[in-house]
Amino acid sequence: MFFRKSQLFRSKPYLQPMNLFKSICFIGFLLLLAACGYRLAGEDKHPELPFFPELVDDQFQLEALPYEGCEYLGKSHRFYVVDADMDTSKYEDRYLILLDGRLKEIARIKRQQFVGVKADGTIYTGQKNLFAYTYPSMKSQKVPILTFDIDSVIKTLPAHEQEKIATDTTIDAHAYRYQLYGDRMKKHLLEGLDSVFHVDRFTVLYYGKKVYGINNRESYVSEFIYDLPQALSAEYLPEGKGEAVAFIEDVVLGNKSMSHRVATSFHPFGLEYYHLIMGVDSIQIKVRSDHLGGEGLVQLASPVKGKVLLRETTAGRLYWLTKAGK
């Protein structure tokens, strides 16, 4: 049987399955993009608003602090800490800057890859080794790192346990050996432990006046950390957010693609819109941001009454926000 060309292409049953397949593929593709962080781009919703830090208002004024590309690490009871030179890729070329109550620089210390700042003012920084800096001397002290040798630990076990590892064929000797090692290590570390403080790859352990560190990549250390009671965690820095910054909405202007070995993810960027509020007065502004969702402009704990401390996240700048004439 032969069909005329016009009849063949008018025959809907032949086209519907193909259209359905294309629709399913297209929807699947959109879902995959969304799962990878992709967001549809739009346009500036409020072109009339000024860009931060330009404030078209006589009631407010901004003062930029002299640190570009910095990351605000938080406030201790004694000082503020910022991580300077964020654009420098080498950690050995970067500094931690300590600021007093009026955000005037009082000290600089060399930073390493990992940093932790306790609320009591102790700063920990390290990479292969861990160092502690205590205010006001700010002299580095190397924190002793505890290491654990599984063979040495196994030798401290009772004789019947050691014999079981060596002779019992009904168990996985390797797994049982590590289980006993982990249990013994946890018991040893918990004895007399007052509190802990986490510094990325390291965990700092406090036993009275003695301080030690452990590398979280050691065997069974991660399990030991997860088993710790929450009450043992040392005091962390307060976030210090307030009511002077109110996030309104954002709009995506584009997406940056980032490859991670076999996978690709997307990081949307765009504009965020905020109210800045001081007392009964407020203004609206917009911020260019790589951290959408209300993270582009953050209010920090201010040490000075009548002044609001702001951080523009993408540019890494700190600002004082005050009422005009004050």
Instruction: Express each pLDDT in 244-278 by its tens digit.
Output: 899 999 898 888 776 655 566 777 888 999 999 98
**Which tokens in the block code for residue 68?**
């570009």
pLDDT tens for 141-180 read 999 998 777 777 777 777 887 777 777 666 676 777 777 7
Closest-CA residue to 319 (of 58, 56, 70, 77): 70
Average confidence (pLDDT) per 10 residues, the chain, 326 residues: 47 54 56 58 89 83 78 66 64 75 80 80 87 84 85 75 73 72 78 86 89 80 65 52 84 77 71 90 89 82 79 83 79
CA 54 vs CA 149, 249, 315: distances in Å: 59, 19, 14
Q: How far is Cα 189 from Cα 229, in angstroms, rounded to an integer?
A: 13
Q: Break the chain into its structural domains and give their ranges.
A: 60-65+239-323, 145-232
- Residue (of 95, 54, 63) closest to 318 by Cα position: 63
In angstroms, the CA 59 to CA 74 distance is 28
Radius of gyration, CA atoms only, the chain: 29
Q: How far is 85 from 91, CA to CA, in rounded Å? A: 9
**Predicted TM-score (pTM) above 0.95:** no
Residues 6+ positions from 284 with CB-CB distance below 8 Å: 46, 49, 248, 273, 274, 275, 276
